[in-house]
């Protein structure tokens, strides 16, 4: 069971009442995502009106609101539908994860407008440090990208581009290539030739072009034809 002194509060406001439980922060988040045992999440198998004052919720109230007096069942509902107090360590963990996601999105999609080549990951990270980018641990990485791009463009030129690339792979490598490179972007069209070769047109983020070509060359040992049809 969780140490009470290290526990945080998870609470649910419903039916004009507030219900609280004491939980391990990490385990409660994991449980909300469908992992773990509720008994391992709780510091106490008790439902509170006010956990700081030690005021327990009455069984009558639990029955009326949740349809059960079982504290374990009520605790499950509170975690799934309520709010979990996050520790400073967990918030920092979330910020670090979001930071990595955002940098990866920018690296995968962005290029230097002058060279049309992606900036190295280390350069993007340095730009984050230089303009002192702040990460919101609660907002999705995708929603934060535009605002952060505006900030780092002050120190590095960068734009998001999509490239349309035509590919022709000979028959001996066609099957493996066709299955391996689909994850790079959107397959616009494909055709299997009478000689067994595979011809396709893919739309990929501009920042992934180098990785895309490296992957193709590794699969085909360089025996592949590619052509950029469009950049936008």
> Which residue did the predictor score with more confidence, 4 or 94?
94
When pLDDT is cut at 50, 70 and 90, the band that residue 232 belongs to is confident
Asked whether the predicted pLDDT for residue 61 surpasses 70, the reply is yes
pLDDT classification of 154: cutoffs 50, 70, 90? very high
**Residue 205 to residues 48, 104, 187, Cα–Cα distance (Å):** 51, 12, 12
Lowest mean pLDDT among 60-64, 178-182, 193-197, 198-202: 178-182
In this chain, the answer to whether the domains covering 4-84 and 162-231 adopt an identical fold is no
Q: Looking only at Cα atoms, what is the longest distance across the chain?
A: 78
Residue entry with tokens 């773990």: 36
Percentage of residues in the chain having pLDDT higher than 70: 100
Burial class (CB in 10 A: 0-12, 13-18, 19+), 3: exposed
For the record, the structure tokens of 189 come out as: 């069209």
- Please, which residues have CB within 8 angstroms of residue 81's CB and are 6 or more apart in sequence? 12, 14
Query: Using CA atoms in the order 87, 93, 94, 97, what is the torsion angle rounded to 10 degrees?
Result: 180
> Of 56-60, 88-92, 104-108, 114-118, which range is least confident?
114-118
**pLDDT surpassing 80 at residue 1:** no
Average pLDDT over residues 17-30: 95
Asked whether 93 and 38 are in contact (CB, 8 A), the reply is no
How far, in Å, CA of 4 to CA of 220, rounded?
Answer: 59
Q: What is the pLDDT of residue 49?
A: 96
Q: How confident is the model at residue 117 (pLDDT cuts 50, 70, 90)?
A: confident
pLDDT given for residue 2 in this prediction: 81
Number of H helices, E strands in the chain: 9, 11
Domain extents for the chain? 4-84, 88-160, 162-231
Can you tell me the mean pLDDT for 92-105?
Answer: 95
Q: What is the dihedral of CA 61, 64, 67, 68, to 10 degrees?
A: 20
Sequence-ordered strand ranges (E) for the chain: 8-14, 17-23, 48-50, 55-56, 83-84, 110-111, 159-160, 162-169, 186-192, 198-205, 225-231
Residue 138 pLDDT grade (very low, low, confident, very high; cuts 50, 70, 90): confident
The Cα–Cα gap between 33 and 169 comes to 42
Q: Is the pLDDT of residue 188 over 70?
A: yes
What is this structure's pTM?
0.73
- In order of 36, 148, 162, the CA distances from 145 in angstroms are 33, 5, 16
CATH dotted code for 4-84: 3.30.1250.10
Fold of 162-231: Alpha-Beta Plaits (3.30.70)
Question: Does domain 88-160 sit in CATH 1.10.10.900?
Answer: yes
Q: Tell which residue, 200, 227, 197, 205, has the closest CA to residue 159.
A: 205
Q: What is the pLDDT of residue 43?
A: 95
**Structure confidence at residue 219 as a pLDDT band (50, 70, 90):** very high
Angle subtended by helix axes 25-32 and 88-109, to nearest 10:
50
**Arithmetic mean of pLDDT over the chain:** 94
Q: What is the pLDDT of residue 5?
A: 83
């Amino acid at each position: 069971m969780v140490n009470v002194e290290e526990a945080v509060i998870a609470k649910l406001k419903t039916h004009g009442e507030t219900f609280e439980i004491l939980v391990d922060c990490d385990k409660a988040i994991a449980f909300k995502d469908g992992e773990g045992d509720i008994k391992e999440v709780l510091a106490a198998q008790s439902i509170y009106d006010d956990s700081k004052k030690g005021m327990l919720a009455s069984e009558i109230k639990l029955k009326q609101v949740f349809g059960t007096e079982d504290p374990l069942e009520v605790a499950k509902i509170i975690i799934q539908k309520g709010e979990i107090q996050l520790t400073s360590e967990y918030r920092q963990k979330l910020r670090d994860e979001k930071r990595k996601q955002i940098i990866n999105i920018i690296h995968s999609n962005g290029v230097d407008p002058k060279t049309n080549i992606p900036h190295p990951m280390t350069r993007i990270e340095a730009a984050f440090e230089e303009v002192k980018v702040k990460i919101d641990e609660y907002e999705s990485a995708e929603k934060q990208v535009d605002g952060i791009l505006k900030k780092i463009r002050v120190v590095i030129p960068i734009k998001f581009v999509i490239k349309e690339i035509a590919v022709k792979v000979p028959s001996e490598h066609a099957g493996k290539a066709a299955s391996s490179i689909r994850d790079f972007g959107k397959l616009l069209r494909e055709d299997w030739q009478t000689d067994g070769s595979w011809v396709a047109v893919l739309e990929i983020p501009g920042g992934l072009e180098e990785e895309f070509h490296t992957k193709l060359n590794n699969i085909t040992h360089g025996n592949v034809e590619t052509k950029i049809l469009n950049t936008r």
